[in-house]
Amino acid sequence: MDLRRRSNLVLAVIVVLAGAAAVVLWISGDPGTVLWAPVHAFLTWALVREIDPDHQWSAMVGAVVAGVWVLNGLAITSVWAPGGLILAARIATSTTGRRLLPVDLGVVSAFGIAIGFTVQGWAAGFGMALALYLDDRFRHENRLPAIAASAIAAVGTTVVATAAGAFPDTVPDIIPYLAIVAGVAALVMLVREPAEPTSQVDARHAAFIDQARLHVSRSIIGLLVFLMTILTGANAEGMVIVIAALWLAILSNEIELLRRRRR
């Protein structure tokens, strides 16, 4: 987070303003949930940046939408859900540009297991396990540590979710319009290839982000958000911020594709 970059400075301003507004509202008698506004603003920005790495505006809009949503006292999901989605996307896209070290694999697996106590956390944890496996496949390495970490995360997060009673006992009473909006977003991300990335990975060799990896990453996140929306059932309004993040990335990609066709 280099604050010398204008985009990061703008984000910092958004987060600080959201935090200040949250404190004022809380002191005025609003519920303590408003204090999550700056956190959700940052996480939404980070998620959109992972699935739409070439554009800053979509992530900024996402941060503002998230902050305003929470400040208005509307339903939110646990921060572990978007946090897990961010890690899953980062691993699948390989935005660090380097292979995960054994300690990285251990930390990711442990985090995926730890957040499995909610149904959204379980979906995110399982997505992280899938991302670990796909990252190894993309590298054509077939490394035992990576495969083991993926399996441990998948099984571990499921065990935690089962022990915590996170899974619904009956078919969730879904909110139809949210399920449709999330489902269409997932389908678009699955069938629509992203524009060829122009952003570079963080590694010193400065390679460009791989288009195939980005497509897989977007597809995973879209499907995970749809799954979360379905499993959350009647409480799915808390997923609105994350669903909005998907649509911002989709809109940004379509604008970019249109712009390139007009060249």
Q: Which of the residue ranges 108-117, 138-147, 197-206, 218-227 would you say has the lowest mean pLDDT?
A: 197-206
Q: What is the pTM of this model?
A: 0.92
* Residues 192, 232, 65, 125, CA torsion sign: negative
* Cα(17)–Cα(245) distance, integer angstroms: 20
Residue located via tokens 């609003």: 30
pLDDT tens, residue by residue, 30-77: 999 999 999 999 999 999 999 999 999 999 999 999 999 999 999 998
* Cα(214)–Cα(197) distance, integer angstroms: 8
* The CA-based dihedral angle spanning residues 213, 217, 223, 224, taken in that order and rounded to the nearest 10 degrees: 150
Q: Which of 71, 62, 26, 22 is nearest to 44 (CA)?
A: 62
Phi-psi region of 197 (alpha: psi -120 to 50; beta: other; left: phi over 0): beta
DSSP structure class, residue 173:
-
Question: What's the mean per-residue pLDDT of the chain?
Answer: 91
Cα separation of the two ends of the chain: 33
Task: Domain ranges for the chain, please list them.
Answer: 6-261
Q: What is the mean pLDDT of residues 70-99?
A: 90
HEC letters along 82-149: HHHHHHHHHHHHCCCCCCCCHHHHHHHHHHHHHHHHCHHHHHHHHHHHHHHHHHHHHHCCCCHHHHHH
pLDDT tens, residue by residue, 160-192: 999 999 888 888 888 999 999 999 999 999 999
- What is the reported pLDDT for 8? 83
Q: Encoding tokens for residue 64? A: 């503002």
